[in-house]
Amino acid sequence: MDLDMSINAPHSMGTTIIGVTYNGGVVLGADSRTSTGMYVANRASDKITQLTDNVYVCRSGSAADSQIVSDYVRYFLHQHTIQLGQPATVKVAANLIRLISYNNKNMLETGLIVGGWDKYEGGKIYGIPLGGTLIEQPFAIGGSGSSYLYGFFDQEWKEGMTKDEAEKLVVKAVSLAIARDGASGGVVRTVIINSEGVTRNFYPGDKLPLWHEELEPQNSLLDILNAPEPMNT
């Protein structure tokens, strides 16, 4: 593939983004790597952006495109909230994102996951991939790292998890994707949204579980090679 690998290439967020509903709200999670070609432009970026007090969006794809779309929707939602006299619903936020994504599909390259909590529907996740489809899902994954997570979620996802179970699942999934996807890396950020409000969490490398070849070998045959001969002093 003929990619421009210089440092002047447009910023892309290789990315792994996840949104998961649980019993009472949603958990959004993302990695923190922004790359321009092979260079990591930002190793601690925040890909989970606020739209309103109760709705956040995970961004993937072109950094510029996803930022602009978020900015427009934040502006529209702000006006809508004033007009309505109460917080906007997650569905409305997702629909506004979808309209911009769909109507400008020729120019934009961004996949988004909208997640939040409102008093009518509770916690909701909406996936809005590249072409501008809007799909409400119990959980959604996106970004280049998500390819490695489809099977994982098929096995591990269950309905009606607790807040802690959901967050653990998200952190585990992002760290698995980081381990296998070169375009994802850095730290894991999570945002939990429920009726009580919003909580941001941050998991640096040393807090993340290690996977497979990252671990010290245990019970490896190599140990026997270096072990002393039996019956020797």
Partner 1 sequence: MSSIGTGYDLSVTTFSPDGRVFQIEYAAKAVDNSGTVIGIKCKDGIVMGVEKLIASKMMLPGSNRRIHSVHRHSGMAVAGLAADGRQIVARAKSEATNYESVYGEPIPVKELAERVASYVHLCTLYWWLRPFGCGIILGGYDRDGPQLYMVEPSGISYKYFGAAIGKGKQAAKTEIEKLKLSEMTCREGVIEVAKIIYKVHDEAKDKAFELEMSWVCDESKQQHQKVPNDLLEEAKAAARTALEEMDAD
Instruction: Verify binding: residue 120, partner 1, rule CB under 8 A.
Output: yes
Question: Closer CB to partner 1, residue 59 or residue 91?
Answer: 91
User: CA-to-CA distance for 113 and 213, rounded, in angstroms?
Assistant: 31
The structure tokens listed for 115 are: 């997640």
Q: Verify whether residue 15 is a known catalytic residue.
A: yes
| Least distance between partner 1 and beta carbon 90 (Å) | 10
HSE, CB side, 13 Å, CA atoms: give it for residue 159. 1
Write out the binding residues for partner 1, residues 190-229 only, by CB under 8 A.
Answer: none
Cα 205 to its chain centre, rounded Å, is: 16
Which of 41, 134 has the CB closer to partner 1? 134
Question: Looking at the DSSP assignment, which residues form a beta bridge with residue 127?
Answer: 113, 135
When the beta carbons of 83 and 233 are compared against partner 1, the nearer one is: 83
Whole-Å CA distances, 34 to 45, 146, 184: 7, 16, 8
- Report the site for partner 1 in 83-102 (rule: CB under 8 A): 83-85, 89, 91-92, 94-96, 98-99
DSSP secondary structure, 192-214, as one string: EEETTEEEEEEE-GGGSPP-GGG
What is the closest distance, in whole angstroms, from the C-beta atom of residue 66 to partner 1 in the complex? 20
- Which residues in 121-160 contact partner 1 (CB under 8 A)? 134
Degrees, nearest 5: CA angle 125-127-132: 145
Which of 41, 72, 74, 80 lies at the binding interface for partner 1 (CB under 8 A)? 80
Active site amino acids: 15
Binding site for partner 1 (CB under 8 A): 80, 83-85, 89, 91-92, 94-96, 98-99, 120, 134
